[in-house]
Structure 1
Amino acid sequence: MEYLTDTAPALDRTQISALLELAVDTAQRAGSIAEQSRRRGVDVAATKANDLDIVTRADLDAETLIKETILAQRPEDGFLGEETDEVLGSDGLTWLVDPIDGTVNYLYAEPSYAVSIAAYLGSVPVVGVVYSPALDELWSASHGGGASLNGVGFRTRRSASPAQPLLGTVFDYTPELRGRQLQRLADAAQVIRDVRVSGSTALDLCRVAAGRLDVFCTDSVHWWDVAAGVLIAREAGCRTWARQDPESGRVHCVVSNPAVSEQLVSSLGYAVVPAH
């Protein structure tokens, strides 16, 4: 799958607005569950690839709420979430959901975590919502409708240092891939101002959208991690690239401030960006 941005979804503005309203309301409800659970104490329910890659009870509870809420209202839609079984829809619309993006932050009571919900019609993004209850930030966007933060529309601020961008990234939990990522970061050290690793891909994409980061690069995530954030960044005025590697299944995603040259971004070593 490749993220498509230049094709308009075959939906009218009323339909898109209804989808966005559903996504916002559901994200806020799931975020409330997550934040209440965090304050009571985080319960690790399971691990995935290794002991570093955890699933909390709140991940499962929040995704269950999201899934049941959306499919109760839209039973013909598909659903692809991080923690539960995929549901194949019949109308071409699929919801991509990460109930808690930034689970390690959540485990450590660090506030940079978020609920991420997006709806795609095929490979075309329709709506995206990233909600961080601990930071009180609700990011949202719809295709052709612009991006907003807490209900106020915004555009990406021009980078303060486009020739030396502030870079955000995320590390994989697999030691071999993490080693390659660290080497790539070392190679990029000559052209970037500094690097930030916040632990939440969804929030970092929104930070690029707002101009708090200049570039975000990753090659170790899944569609549910980036589906909402890339639309928010695109609608705010950023350049966005995302595609899935057919062999590994991992998603390569790069989002950049429009003032940073594509040549500089492509020099960072992420194949998803066109070479110059």
Structure 2
Amino acid sequence: MSFLQLLPPGDAGQPWSEIRTSVPTRRVFISLMFIASVFLALHLISQYLLYFAGIDSSLFRLIVGALDLNNESTVSTWYSSATLLVCGMGFALVALAGYQAHSRLAHYWSALSLLAFLFSADEVAQLHEKLNGPVRMLVDMGSLFAIAWVLPGVAFLVFLLISFRRFFGSLPRSTRFSFALGTAVFFAGCLGVEMLGGEYSEAYGRDNFGYKVIAGFEEYLEMAGVAILLRAMLAHMNKHVSWKLRHQEPVVTMVHDAEPSQPAWIAAKHRLAK
């Protein structure tokens, strides 16, 4: 199945063709949600067995650690980073089409691409966690902001909403709704549930099944939000985005002799004259 369609030129003299996408967005979305659900199920089952089944061995703890959605450098972490990377690449392609069409929205798509790349890198490097120490030194935020980086995260979200309000207003209705839903689900996980987990950990600690459940649903909401955004972006590309492919003009080379050859009788006449 081809996901790209090459459309012939509309006019005979038009020097380019158009490329459009035809991606099965529903199938992609279902696949992404299935993977996220499997990650969550394995996380919850392994944590339940760890805390309530009485299984205690180094191998089992190694397996539980590998399935823990709250751990770094696990399969789920790389999956989340990869989906955000794909989002960034998709936004960059939409930006490219916008620049070709001289659209005033192109730089917004470029900014979204950059943000997705940064979130992808942060998913692996956990850069946001390094804000906890400096923020705690500056302000005491209480149990609601027990995980200190959440406060600058909320401020950053407000900044994004203000900066992109005109962009969202210019999008087609279906795209605007899906983008808003995906963004809400993603930040509900990484900020809202993170705040809930911080308050819970202040009261009961982190080494318990309750905290692991909260952490699992936090990561699940992030993965679900990215899946919604990916589906919205692909649907927008299918309906509203095309790229121009310029035709290669044939090169005609004319070969000329440096000097035209002389007839034989003229050459003989010159020799006799000498």
Regarding TM over 0.5, the answer is: no
Normalising by structure 2, we get a TM-score of 0.26
Please identify the structure whose Cα radius of gyration is greater: 2
| Greater fraction strand | 1
| Greater fraction helix | 2
Higher relative contact order (CA 8 A, sep 6+): 2
